[in-house]
Amino acid sequence: MAESTTNLEIFGIRSAQILNVVVLDDSLSVIEDLKAQLGTIAGIKAVAFLDPEAALAHAATHKIDLFLIDYNMPKLTGTQVIKRLRAMPAYRYVPIIMITSEAERAIRLEALEAETTDFLRKPLDVDELKSRVGNLLNLRRVQLDLANRADDLAEAVEAATEELSSREAEMIMRLAKAIEYRDCDTGQHVSRVA
């Protein structure tokens, strides 16, 4: 992963923070396998849930950078979870991978309409998992860096606007003083107008 970070630094990306990943599956063995595989990727912290409601509650109180969500679960389907996540402003653009053994086209379309970012088929191919997760985490780092840059630019614009307003007021007062010194009769009036 250090190589990816180096490549990102070439483009001015500075997000080197730990990214949080949520794994949601109703199978404990799949969760354990996914957590083991994700544990080999540097720069991430993975948390797993068997219950969709618990995962949604966690997402409501923590910043998550990537979700891996199974389609078939008790209580809610994966697409229902994704729709709820997308309804939260914080997760409008966060990458979500749907993991499924389902081959039905209707399920894939349903997931795409719910704004799934990517798919992984069960049984999982470890190399494909690592590549897709790595790519989406790099995308997330770029999103976070752009958001940070936008905040920095907004602050810079606000500071520059305040400085311009201050200089403008100073310039008006100086012109008023110059007129006042030139013409004492109308000088006081110009100062008041200024």
CA angle, corner 45, sides to 40 and 49, nearest 5? 105
The reported pTM is 0.68
Q: What is the DSSP letter of 12?
A: T
**Rg of the Cα atoms in the chain:** 27
Regions of the chain where pLDDT drops below 50: 1-14
Report the alpha-carbon distance of residue 128 to residue 34 in Å, rounded.
12
Classify residue 73 by burial, with Cβ atoms within 10 Å: 0-12, 13-18, 19+: buried
Q: What is the pLDDT of residue 17?
A: 74
